[in-house]
Each structure stands twice: as structure tokens, then as C-alpha cells.
Amino acid sequence: MAFSALYLQQNDNGFSAGVTSLDDRTLDEHPLAAGEVLIRIAHSTLNYKDALAVTNRGPVVRAWPMIAGIDGAGEVVTSTDSRWKAGDIVLVNGWGLGETHWGCLAEKARLKADWLIAVPQGLSTAESMAIGTAGYTAMLSCLALKQAGVKPADGEVLVTGASGGVGSVAISLLSSWGFTVVASTGKPEQAHFLKRIGAADVVDRNSLSAAGKPLQKERWAAVVDSVGSHTLANACAQTKYGGVVTACGLAQGMEFPANVAPFILRGIKLLGIDSVMCPIAHRQIAWNRLAADLDRAKLAELTHLIALHDVPEAAVQMMDGKLSGRTVVDICRSA
């Protein structure tokens, strides 16, 4: 039997990315596909990290050849681990998928049992991938703010990279929890959309993306940042005394051109959010909260569906800043 997969190759002839047909035996024999559970993938998603890998614009892939896709949801076909049985509906995020282990932009994936969680009751595989790593990371960030004691009465919460996957889900979640959310975006045409999903106001990302003073006028009670670089530095410089900033991305860059002033003069907290190697117990809490708290109508509004063969073009559009919200890949969709 054969299955289709988004296959990335790097060799003497250069880099290539495309949907190809692979033999089922490769999932049993290839060292990058080791695992106890065989999954028939129903839906995956296109994340920023996937787009970097598929366009070869970032050093994401660390072993070749690679099947892309850091997220997947589908049905267990076979399992040698007693925790999972045929017919179980499961999802996976991170764990090096699409980097060091064959990923889920494919009709089938062989995965380690320790990486899986059951799709929460009430969510379909398509909805779980509309959430995906981006939405799950957003929930980790939002929960970190609440756990740090941030309350709606404390003031405005800034969400950077607002039209992206993390940002859009964070806006929806925080607004549903009663927070006043301000969205930062470089896409002014998305302002109406961002307000529909919960933003009270929208600011131009250019007001945050250039070098700024170490301490600026205090505005934000908290920040969810997926951008990094000068944006994160300015967000910290504008955070109120005792405020909290979460950092989970690097869309602008990995560097952090800041100094200690906001931390030692205003006592702000900077919390790092990791979604890739996050322990299963924390993942389960985040996914259960997503199933319970995320507005399905808002989720549907920020989601669009594509087929597997559309992913290479969509990845280019994402890297060029032409996509917003969440991109779900219907693995079985032919057009």
C-alpha cells in the first residue's frame, strides 16, 4: 500500500518540497518514523514552523529526508502500546515532528505513544487542528497570565502578531475571559476581523517593531507576544508595574534587544512558553480548557481549509505575510 506525504529533501541537487507517494513499509523501516502507534491522519495544519520548513527559509529540519507537519489528528490504526487501541481518535503537537521525526502532513504517521493525547470530547479532528500548536500555545500563554495573577480589572492586554494563529486564538480566549484586548498587527485590513473575534482596539505593529527606549509610558497589564525582537523589548518597556509578559515566538527575530530596566524598576515578569516539549499533563490541561472555553463560532471564523497539495503554495503565502488566522489541512481532500 502507498500513502501521500509532503516530502522534503535536501541533497547535492538542492532542496525540494512536494507531495509524493511513499510505500507503507517505509513507516515500519525508516529510522525517522519510529513509534508504537500508527495513525491515519485526518487533519493537519500549517504553522509558521511548517512554513519555514516547507519553503526552506529557516533551519527547521534537522534530519533528511523529512515529512513535514508538526501537528496531526486522526484515528489509531494499530498500536503496540496498551494505552492506545485501534479506533481511538488522537492528536499530537510538537515533539520534534517535522524536524527530527517524520510529521503529519501525510495520510499516515507512525508516532510514539508518549506523544499522543485523546482529542477532547466535543472537538472534531478538524477543530482540533484549527486550534493546533498555535492555539494550544496561545492557551499555554493565557493560562500563564492567569496563574501569574493577572485579572481583567488590571487593564489592557496586548497581543502581538494578532492576525496569526497564536495571536488570533489568544484574542478570542482572553476576550471570552473578560479581558480588554489590544491587537497589534501589520495588516490594517484585518482590523474588523480582529475586533469581531474579541479585540477592543487595534494598533499598528510599526509602533512596536523599531528600536525603542528601555522604559516607556506604562500601558499594558500583560502581553502575549509571538513576535520577539524589538516588539518584545518594547512590549516589556510599556508594561505596567508588576505586569506579566509571555514570550512564545520569533516572527520578527530571535534576538531580544532590551535591558534589565523593566524588570528591576517596574518588577515585570517575562515568562517563556514552550509548546514543543511541554509535559503531557500540562498539554492535557491546556487542551481540556480549549475544548471548554474556545468559542467555536470564532474558531470557525478564523479558520480556512486547504488540501495537502495546496500546502507548498500556502507556506509561501504565510512566509510573505498573506495568510491570517488558522490554516487547516484536510488530508483526504482532493481539491
Centre a 10 Å sphere on the Cβ of residue 202 and count the other Cβ atoms it contains: 21
Per-residue pLDDT for 116 more than 90?
yes
Q: Which of 115, 114, 122 is nearest to 92 (CA)?
A: 115
Q: What Rg, from alpha-carbon coordinates, does the chain have? A: 20
Reading the block at residue 187, the C-alpha cell is: 495588516
Is the predicted pLDDT of residue 334 greater than 70, yes or no?
no
Residue 308 in grid coordinates: 495537502
Is the pTM higher than 0.85? The answer reads yes
Closest CA to 305 of 316, 314, 318: 314
C-alpha cell belonging to residue 273 = 512558553
- pLDDT tens per residue, range 165-195: 899 999 999 999 999 999 999 999 999 999 9
Mean of pLDDT values over 241-264: 96
Output the DSSP codes for 264-291: HHS--EEEE---SS--HHHHHHHHHHHH
Q: What is the pLDDT of residue 333?
A: 83
What is the reported pLDDT for 335?
53
Structural domains in the chain? Answer: 2-119+302-330 (3.90.180.10), 133-272 (3.40.50.720)
Average pLDDT along the chain = 95
CA angle 124–143–297, rounded 5-degree value = 35
How far apart are the C-alpha atoms of 323 and 165, rounded to whole Å? 10
- Would you give the distance in Å from CA 235 to the centre of its chain? 21
**Angle subtended at Cα 60 by Cα 12 and Cα 186, rounded to the nearest 5 degrees:** 120
Cα 311 versus chain centre, distance: 16
The pLDDT, as a whole number, for residue 13 is 87
Which residues touch 204 (CB under 8 Å, ≥6 apart)? 184, 185, 186, 188
